[in-house]
Structure 1
């Protein structure tokens, strides 16, 4: 797997003393294609390579019984130094799916190299995908870079969320922003190649202050939610969103360029209120695009 050349990775090109980066057991691959079969969508194609795993599609959403729900699993338990992970999701015409993770993504402490994840998402006409993984928790001295590349038809909808913790906040007296690098980039384009938008978030706590106004200030948890959808849907969702302070969090939405959709950001002191605010946005998207509710909070949520 080719890792893009980004300057934040220049200091971390050494190899682990254990298994070298990108070797067997450290190159995880997931390839999934969803197709519409009339009464339901199905996971028509699945390829998996450890340490990434998907077992099967489940149909537990009572509001959308024809929508497959897929859990991405890490067989190693967390992201390790030298890991190279690739996730490809292909949505066929008219298909729908909800893709998440079995738990939070824990990026383990590192003393060499880095971990990299590449996601490629393709949405055909009238398809609908909720790509909503659990929180990312970068441990002390973690180096994690993620890139998500989306190709989306004008009639399709993608709801993609990322929730990032400051570290193991309550571990050993707290690990707040003690990781080395957290870098995540999202780009989107039309099938013909027209670029819709690009955004990159780079956090290097040892080199750039985190607690500034306009960065994190007094907040610890950050959520970034991207909604790619037709303009009429984006307008209707935006009408339902009340920006500003909501209990313990602060949140706001902005329009993406080229009438591509919306981007929604949430800051909060803990994960629970941030996740609750993301759920409110998710509920608005479901109501507008599908005229259905989101599922209740699970007992383990």
Structure 2
């Protein structure tokens, strides 16, 4: 399955070139290609290609609850994602490989006055492979425009947990930062290795055209959390009872889960008023997924969380 190369219609107004450097030129086209493979009783990083501003140094094995899992931190060497940036990430897991993928900090979408930024990420899993992708939150600054497209290709025996938390902006910096970005377009697609499409989802948020605080949108919530667990049907059924669903007005969150079409797994959606509540609910789903797939719990939170 490949990511479409046509320009999504919502990006049509943001095609002018930045005055500093044209979009996607040297220093603005980050490339990351990784391949992971089980060796000597643990998953190791066997292929690595990186091009600034994306960086991965090595796979670590610091997770004491799942010591064979390769833990990888994706680093952005710049001061955030700026106008004209184009990121391409391809990650492959061989049969039975296990990896936990995260980012070194929040993805900060800097203020833009021309063009847009985009990130294409593709995950390809082998038989019985297990992927946890838990990046830090996305923070869209005032005036930013961003397009993200994630594709996952996996066989029926593999499991991929893809999580995402999107904040409304730098809400404590300036009142105009709260949903002050121009555009946020996020797509997730899943398919089998033979090309059969399983499911997909696309969010387009343009606060200037339709404010997310509308009662038919996020209402009085400001943080959006999404988790896609692509996994065999029996595993999805095992995870579902452990997910926190419903509403808690006092704690400031609402959440719900549903099985995905074509026996692809499950989806979990979270709305909250603060980042901590969204993190806690994502962690609940992460822990339930890891227990169902590996029989091991998620590691305890770091002391600074």
TM range (shorter): over 0.9
Structure 2, unpaired ranges of 5+? none
Q: Distance in 2 between matches of 1:192 and 1:172?
A: 49
SS state at 1:272 partner: helix
Show CA shifts across 1:17-40 (max 9, x none).
Answer: 101110000000000111011410
Structure 1's consecutive aligned runs of 4 or more residues displaced over 4 angstroms after TM superposition are none
Q: Given the alignment of the two structures, is residue 295 of structure 1 paired with residue 278 of structure 2, yes or no?
A: no
SS of 2:162's partner is strand
State the alpha-carbon separation in 1 of the partners of residues 147 and 157 from structure 2.
Answer: 30
Residue 123 of structure 1 corresponds to 125
Identify if the C-alpha distance between structure 1 residues 100 and 92 changes in structure 2 by more than 3 Å, giving closer, same or farther: same
- Aligned equivalents of 1:38, 1:252: Cα separation in 2: 40
Question: How many residues in Structure 1 have an aligned counterpart in Structure 2?
Answer: 301
Long gaps (5+) in structure 1:
none
Q: SS at 2:300's partner residue?
A: coil
Root mean square deviation of aligned Cα? 1.3
For residue 265 of structure 1, report the CA deviation from its aligned partner: 0.4
Where 2:169 maps in the other structure, the secondary structure is coil
CA offsets per residue over residues 8-61 of structure 1, 9 Å max, x none? 111111111101110000000000111011410001111000000001111110
Is contact 2:70–2:98 with CA below 8 Å preserved after alignment?
yes
Identify which of 256, 260, 275 aligns with 2:260: 256
2:48 maps to which of 34, 46, 49 = 46
- What do the CA deviations read for 1:61-80 (whole angstroms, capped 9, x no partner)? 00011111000000112101
Contact conserved, 1:3 with 1:116, CA < 8 A, in 2?
no
Q: How does 1:235-274 map to 2 (within 5 A)?
A: 235-246=237-248, 247-274=251-278
Q: Is the 8 A contact 2:258 2:268 kept in 1?
A: yes
Do 2:142 and 2:176's aligned partners in 1 also have CA atoms closer than 8 Å?
A: no
Distance 1:236 1:174 in 2: 43
Distance in 2, Cα, partners of 1:241 & 1:20: 45
In structure 1, C-alpha distance between the alignment counterparts of 2:211 and 2:175, rounded to whole Å: 21
Give the structure 2 partner of residue 146 of structure 1: 148
Residue 11 of structure 1 aligns to a residue whose secondary structure is coil
- Distance in 1 (CA, whole Å) between partners of 2:192 and 2:79 is 35
Structure 1: how far apart are the matches of 2:237 and 2:175?
Answer: 44
Question: Secondary structure of 1:112's partner?
Answer: coil
Cα distance, 1:242 vs. partner? 3.7
2:31 is matched with: 29
CA distance in 1, matches of 2:213, 2:116: 25
Matched with 1:106 is 108
Deviation at 1:209, TM superposition (A): 2.5
8 Å contact from structure 1 (residues 116, 146) kept in 2? yes
> Post-superposition shift, 1:210?
1.4
Q: Please report the TM-score for the alignment, with normalisation by the length of structure 2.
A: 0.96
Distance 2:79 2:61 in 1: 25
SS of match in other structure, 1:202: strand
| Equivalent in the alignment of 1:202 | 204
Query: 2:69 maps to what in 1?
Result: 67
Counterparts of 2:4 and 2:234 in 1: how far apart (Å)?
38
Per-residue CA deviation, residues 159-185 of structure 1 (Å, 9 max, x unaligned), is 000100000011124611000000000
TM-score (structure 1 length as normaliser): 0.97
Q: In the alignment, which residue of structure 2 is the partner of 1:170?
A: 172
2:78: which partner in 1?
A: 76
Contact 2:159–2:229 at 8 Å: present in 1 too? yes
Deviations 1:225-280 (A, max 9, x none): 00000111000001222420243211110111011000000000010111111101
Question: What secondary structure, in the 3-state scheme, does the structure 1 residue paired with 2:240 have?
Answer: helix
